[in-house]
Structure 1
Amino acid sequence: MAAPPVQLPATIPLGASVPALTAHAISVSLPTWDDNIGYEEGDKRVVDRMETGYPRFFIHRSIQKLAALCLAKFGRPDELCILLPSPKVAGEGRDFLASQNPSIPSRVVEFVICPSAVSLIDSSSSQAWGGVDCIELQILLFDKSHWAFGKAFWQHTGDGICSRLAERALAFLGETPAGSTARPPTPPLERQPSKAPSSRNRHYSRRNTSVPSTPRTPTTPATPATPTAASDDAPVEAVTGENLTPELATYLEERYGRNMPLFNAPLAKQALKRRIAGGLLPSDEGFGKVDDVARGAGSGSGKKAVKEDDVYLYPCGMSAIWHAHNIARSARRRKGQQEGKSICYGFPYTDTLKILNKWGPGCHFLGSGGTEDIPVLEKLLEERKPDEPPLLSLFCEFPSNPLLRSPDLVRIRQLADKYGFVIVVDETIGNFINVEVVEFADIVVSSLTKIFSGDANVMGGSLILNPNGPLFDELKAVQNAEYEDNYYPEDAVYMERNSRDYRGRIKRVNDNAFDVTDFLYRRSLDDSSTPAEGKVVKKVYYPRFQTPELYAQAQRQPTTGKGGFGGLFSVTFTSDQASKAFYDTLGCAKGPSLGTSFTLASPYTILAHYLELDWAAEYGVERGLVRISVGQEDESVLKQWFESALEAAEAVGRASV
């Protein structure tokens, strides 16, 4: 008897959010190769249908709407603006604009928005707003001709306001989220708020002095807004730090279900930091046990374990990377020394390299990032001129995105100990269930937006200071003096909920990715055990096949699932036509980002390096590369997707012979 046909999900339309119908989605559907090229080239067919996009590149519609209101209230006709969460971040933005050549003047306006009587109608107190009495926005205004520089600060630092904050501010102003057709709430005659609004002036501004905003915001519809993150279970009482115990996570799950109430967002942040420091959970059933892995302290090593006080939360992963660079720079300045250049080791995610080049004296780029670059690194260190400042830091990914190569962390650590530079390791792709890089690094950064969350509906980032690192005291002193928590409370609540089943998801993703890459590798030119005739897959980039001996330096044992190599891989083909046929036929969701609970594909080089394709190709990142983040789908679904896509690519190959 034939097996019943596999039921596959419907294709998400061009420009719609990924996941579909998600107000704060972190991806957007670009279902064909030509759609991606059209997006990069500004084709109206594509751009006019974009409801959303990756948040650092496509400013959320509700943020755009709020920016338009701010411009109308405080801006001049020749100005645009970006919205920032604190005076400190606004100051960084002003400094960045002022550092351009020629210097770009700007000015900052503080806009304090408190709940109106309208916005409090459905709440008995400010607890319904997560304990937020008022929102303090920093509006960085500059001439509209310098928009590219304002957007660059937003994109590279990741420190702009988030979409949930924008929607809360709009609600306080009696406005609906962007794209909503609902009318602003109006008080029913029979109900009045049981607590009057704050006596503080509802809206006021404090203008600061002036140095490069979002364009005036379009009003095209976006996806519908999600309900408030407050728990559906009522009533609830506040949980304070006094009753935080090792059984924290169990308590949260049993007491609040899916989401904690917003006024307990500080507890959500504490849970996240403990979850990250403790290495996660032994199983979903063991929820709350955080002694699974003491990060940074091997058995009998005598080393200190990472504590939650060594973990810092940021609005997104790129924010953590930007601040890691800033921490290293501040530590060097505190010693009265010049900063020195940094090193970008291995082909990185695009914004990392831009951060190292745009802030401070620049960087050396060692684009291969394997053992072959260790002698180059040694030469840089040994041949430094006497009047040249020592190298500041080395940034690397473990493994790298999109080529999944791993650096030699053992040798890099030896060189750092000898020459005194800071090692910053981005473990987003490896993730801290599969790998443990803390023992090699001074600072570990991660994008919690990716597989730690999995649901693709919230941003977040983390930074860990290695308590056993030789520079720990210096770096900790900087954080004690300069760290500012700008992680929006509602985002923290969603992230805490999403990450509860992290370990179980990692196992399923590891298993699925192992099977898919095994299938593709056996049909690739790299597999010499089968004839090359008819093959169109050139190479499968996956830690199992790329620098496996270096990946093993930090690979956790025993592994979680098959191999413990993670869910991300890339594949290249013998022609761009084959790449296009494979991508267009592949049945999964397609758009930017990775680490989603569902499989997500992207023509990575086209999206990330369209204006520098030749440069990327010099480091092995080919134009036709397809990057795939494997999800948790059933094996039968994945098999049908990848078999169909490969058959389409091979058909193109046969036709071109």
Structure 2
Amino acid sequence: MIATQRASEAIPLGSSVPALTPHAISVSLPTWRDNVGYEEGDKRVVDRMETGYPRFFIHRSIQKLAALCVAKFGRPDELCILLPSPQVAAEGRDFLANQKPSLPARIVEFVICPSLTLPSSPTTPLDSSVSSLSISDAAPATGVDLIELQILLFDKAHWAFAKAFWQHTGDGISSRTAERALSFLGEAPAGVAPDPATGAALEKQGKNATINWKNNRHYGRKTPSISTPSSSTPSFTPAPQRPDPPKRPVEERIADENLTPDLTTYLEERYGRNLPLFNAHLAKHALKRRIAGGLLPSDEGFGAVADIQRGGGDGKKAVREEDVYLYPTGMSAIWHAHDIVRRARRAEGKPEGESVCYGFPYTDTLKILQKWGDGCHFLGRGGPDDVDALAEVCAKAETPILSLFCEFPSNPLLTSPDLVRLRKLADQYGFAIVIDETIGNFINVEVVQFADVVVSSLSKIFSGDANVMGGSLVLNPNGPLYTKLQTVMTSSYEDNYFPEDSVYMERNSRDYRGRIKRINDNTYALTSLLHSRSLRDDSSSSTGKAVKRVYYPRYQTPEIFHQARRTPTLGEGGYGGLFSLTFTSAKASEAFFDNLQCAKGPSLGTAFTLACPYTILAHYFELDWAAGYGVEANLVRVSVGEEDIETLKEWFGAAVDAAEAAVGDA
């Protein structure tokens, strides 16, 4: 059980969540006013931002490395983003080139080895489209002893477009990649004071310049100014330690799990600790096995939970490790899902066709479908009427619809699309179904049977510790498009998941099943309490109530959610750990949020409870648009953690009391 301290008081504004976590994927925004200030660029807030969600706030170590690269390989009027492979860099350059008017960019390939010293000037022409530089005074190395960077350089005035590519695709380098590269260059990670001589040189040359947070919008609207940050965040924290379950002999594990001897011996020897980096490939092997639905000997509750393979049974093929692909972020998995479906259609010699975004989505999914390919139909409510609208779109389309993207359930309204009806339409009209299962998670729901592609953000509940990013893509081996999609993946997939990130993800996810059970139980009990105090509960008077509605699969389209819910459920209800609340007034929602004593910031799926005013953070400049699809401006989204349920009830009960008091004072 995690600590039950008042998290919002313990983590100050702008600090990482959890506190003192150098690679955190959330940031503390403890009051409603802080969140509004964040969106409006209020100096009181932005000057205290040490970190942020990695696709929106470029980690300080990445900023530092990028500044070094620009200083050595760029022109005074240029900025850059750092990408992991030539293929991704080419996509970034093409994205800029496809803007109207076209925006020029160039790529420098930079291979960094230990003991590398940057030259005083580039060894390749600055005006070339693609340049390459490889420097090392060390022996040839492999794995994380070698960092290959693709530096995409462009005019400073075009920063907003390059930042959009970084955010939408999720394919930028990770903060651990940057720290490793900096260490090879003899530089300290951002936030760790370098030695005085190095620090003075950096300050003189302006290499530690970073993007000003004030202009770091979700879809950056302005050219960023330059500032020099200061941070006292430590560079590293040890991986969280978890209790070890009883060990079993290696031979039994091989027989029961059909694992390779290398992996089983490895887990036996390393169990309870992070895997060594030179064995990161085994961490990835273990991750794929878990995502495919199998248990590993190192997983909590081994033998206690039925090992049900995903997509199998009734004569169907189960998902195998070979059907699972890892990506650096969940959004990267979504972007590449769209890309492989487009490639598969083109491989048939056919025009791509438009896609469909079905239901109110996470914001970047819609942006991907709008900015890449032939365009997108947005059916933003995702209810029965939208199924009928989809059928009409398919029937009238001059070019067959390419794909349909949906979430199960949706974020933040927790409604579930009718996958049975959608699958029938997909089979009739030949489009691909891509389902984002992040909110439902693949322990609670089985969506593979309805999908051609399943994507998930491993950064969320699969990891739980909010200190590493990751994503997965699964091909349905029984889907009608499987062979075509697999052929595309065979020719185009590249593994850009940084080894050190995979090691942390493997360690974090060993107890994901037990964590999901505890969170399922907590959320079911907590939403029961909150529903009883909402206007939707008829058992008591509505007088003085502040909570308008609880959005949770139990209360939102439950019969449709049950189409894909796994049974028996793991924990109470099996509805997951996310819910949202709306209130009778803006004053009530602000009072609730400000008095809620849990951690507050972006992201979800953490092992600790985390809340945010979702619509303010995701749609502040389009509140009316979001409201048109039922996403109210005063909505509060809550991701429930593993705290003691009585503590959670105390926190949320007190927050509802404050909201009701605010209603009474109105």
Structure 1 length as normaliser, TM-score? 0.88
- C-alpha separation between the residues in 2 aligned to 1:260 and 1:368? 44
**Which residue among 412, 430, 440 is the counterpart of 1:420?**
430
| Structure 1 unaligned regions, length at least 5 | 1-5, 120-124, 187-211, 232-240
2:144 aligns to what SS in structure 1? Answer: coil
Residue correspondence of structure 1 range 68-79 to structure 2 within 5 A: 68-79=67-78
Distance verdict in 2 for CA 1:228–1:627, change over 3 Å = closer
- 1:282 is displaced (CA, Å) by 9.9
Whichever residue aligns with residue 598 of structure 2, its letter is C
Which residue is equivalent to 2:180? 168
Q: Partner of 1:141 in structure 2?
A: 153
**SS where residue 89 of structure 2 aligns?**
helix
1:269 aligns with 2:284: yes
Matched, 1:350 2:363: yes
Task: Verify: 1:323 aligned to 2:297, yes or no.
Answer: no
Does structure 2 conserve the Cα–Cα contact (< 8 Å) formed by 1:229 and 1:493? Answer: no
Alignment partner, residue 63 of structure 1: 62
Task: Find the residue that maps to 1:295 and give its secondary structure.
Answer: coil
Alignment of 1:86 with 2:85, yes or no, is yes
Distance in 2 (CA, whole Å) between partners of 1:400 and 1:535 is 26
Q: Residues 584 and 282 of structure 1: is their aligned pair in 2 closer, same or farther, counting only changes over 3 Å? A: farther
- Residue 98 (structure 1) aligns with: 97
Q: Please tell me whether the aligned partners of residues 589 and 634 of structure 2 are also in contact (alpha carbons under 8 angstroms).
A: yes
Deviation, structure 1 residue 213? 10
2: CA distance, partners of 1:110 / 1:21: 33
Q: Give deviations 1:437-482, integer Å, cap 9, x for gaps.
A: 0000000000000000000000000000000000000000000000
Local SS of the residue matching 2:442? helix
Read off the aligned partner of 1:79 and give its amino acid letter. Answer: E
Shift in Å, 1:635: 1.5
Q: Aligned with 1:498: secondary structure? A: helix
SS where residue 106 of structure 2 aligns?
A: strand
SS in 2 for 1:132: helix
Judging changes above 3 Å, is the alpha-carbon distance between structure 1 residues 213 and 252 closer, same or farther for their aligned structure 2 residues? farther
Corresponding residue number in structure 2 for 1:365: 378
Deviations 1:249-268 (A, max 9, x none): 68515434320100000110
Three-state SS of the structure 1 residue aligned to 2:404 is: strand
Cα displacement (A) at 1:245: 2.5
SS of the aligned residue for 2:448 comes to coil
CA drift of 1:550 comes to 0.6
The verdict on how the C-alpha distance between 1:486 and 1:282 changes in structure 2, with shifts beyond 3 A counting, is: closer
Contact 1:433 1:560 in 2 (8 A): yes
Aligned to 1:311: 324
8 Å Cα contact 1:84-1:161 kept in structure 2:
yes
Aligned-partner Cα distance in 2 for 1:257–1:108: 42
The 1:479/1:540 distance shift into structure 2, 3 A limit, reads same
CA distance in 2, matches of 1:282, 1:530: 49
Instruction: Indicate the SS of the match to 2:318.
Output: coil
2:560 counterpart (547, 550, 554): 550
Structure-2 residue corresponding to 1:209: none
Contact 1:15 1:30 in 2 (8 A): yes
Aligned CA RMSD, in angstroms, stands at 2.6
Asked if the contact 1:67/1:83 (under 8 Å) is kept, the reply is yes
Gaps of 5+ in 2: 119-137, 199-221, 242-253
The letter for the 1-side match of 2:425 is: L
CA 1:126–1:15: 2 relative to 1, 3 Å: farther
Q: Residue 574 of structure 2 aligns with which residue?
A: 564
Alpha-carbon distance between aligned partners in 2 of 1:318 and 1:167, rounded to the nearest angstrom: 22
Q: Secondary structure at the match of 1:464?
A: strand
What SS does the aligned partner of 2:10 have?
coil
Q: Secondary structure of 2:554's match? A: coil
Greater mean alpha carbon deviation, residues 67-76 or residues 270-279: 270-279
Give the whole-Å Cα distance in 1 for the aligned partners of 2:334 and 2:238: 30
SS at match of 2:162: helix
Cα deviation, 1:543-567, whole Å, max 9, x if unaligned, reads: 0000001100000000011100000
TM-score (norm 2): 0.87
Corresponding position of 2:586: 576
Distance 1:126 1:405 in 2: 55
- Give the partner amino acid of 1:585: N
CA contact (8 A) 1:230 1:262 kept: no
* Corresponding residue number in structure 1 for 2:308: 293
Distance in 1 (alpha carbons) for counterparts of 2:452 and 2:262: 30
* Corresponding residue of 1:194: none
Q: Distance in 2 between matches of 1:286 and 1:230?
A: 19
SS at match of 1:297: coil
Distance 1:480 1:290, change over 3 A: farther
Aligned to 1:107: 106
Which one of the candidate residues 607, 610, 613 is aligned to 1:597? 607
Alignment counterpart, residue 620 of structure 1, candidates 622, 630, 634: 630
Q: Secondary structure at the match of 2:145?
A: coil
Cα offset, 1:288, TM superposition: 8.8
CA-to-aligned-CA distance 1:49-103 (integer Å, 9 cap, x gap): 0000000000000000000100100111111110001110000000000110100
Q: Secondary structure at the match of 2:443?
A: helix
SS of the residue corresponding to residue 140 of structure 1 reads strand
Cross-structure match for 1:234? none
Contact 1:140 1:213 in 2 (8 A): no
Superposition pairs for residues 433-472 of structure 1, below 5 Å? 433-472=443-482
Write the distance in 1 (CA, Å) between the matches of 2:470 and 2:79: 27
Q: Distance in 2 between matches of 1:434 and 1:559?
A: 7
Using a 3 Å threshold, how does the CA distance of structure 1 residues 280 and 434 change in structure 2: closer, same or farther? farther
What SS does structure 1 have at the residue aligned with 2:364? Answer: helix
- Structure 2 distance, partners of 1:361, 1:31, is 41
Aligned letter for 2:61?
S
Structure 2: distance between partners of 1:351 and 1:522: 34
Q: Distance in 2 between matches of 1:352 and 1:261?
A: 35
SS at 2:568's partner residue?
coil
Q: Distance in 2 between matches of 1:58 and 1:403?
A: 25
Aligned partners of 1:130 and 1:489 also within 8 Å: no
Q: Distance in 1 between matches of 2:568 and 2:170?
A: 35
Shift of 1:126: 8.7
Give the AA of the match of 1:24: H
Query: Do the aligned partners of 1:141 and 1:213 also contact (CA within 8 Å) in 2?
Result: no
2:228, 2:264 → 1: CA distance? Answer: 42
Determine if contact 2:300/2:514 at 8 Å carries over to the other structure. no
Q: Look up the match of 1:339.
A: 352
**Percent of aligned pairs with the same amino acid:** 72
* Partner of residue 162, structure 2: 150
Q: Deviations over 1:15-74 (max 9, x none)?
A: 000010000000000000000000000011000100000000000000000001001001
Q: CA deviation at 1:134?
A: 2.0
For 2:304 and 2:496, the matched residues in 1 are separated by: 28
One-letter code of the match for 1:520?
L
1:378 to 1:118, Cα distance in 2 relative to 1, 3 A: closer
**Distance in 1, Cα, partners of 2:224 & 2:37:** 22
Alpha-carbon deviations, 1:512-551, whole Å to 9, x = none? 1111110110011111121111111111000000000110
1:8–1:637 CA contact under 8 A, matched in 2: no
Contact 2:286 2:296 in 1 (8 A): no
Separation in structure 2 between the aligned mates of residue 228 and residue 512 of structure 1, nearest angstrom: 28
The residue aligned with 1:498 is: 508
Equivalenced residue count is 606
State the shift of 1:397 in Å. Answer: 0.1
Change (3 A) 1:551 1:623: same
Q: Distance in 1 between matches of 2:545 and 2:265?
A: 51
Q: Aligned with 1:434: secondary structure? A: coil
CA 1:401–1:250 in 2, change beyond 3 Å: closer, same or farther?
A: farther
1:228 positional shift? 8.0
**Contact 1:150/1:213, CA 8 A, preserved across alignment:** no
Is this contact kept in 2: 1:82–1:213, CA < 8 A?
A: no
Letter in structure 1 aligned against 2:80: C
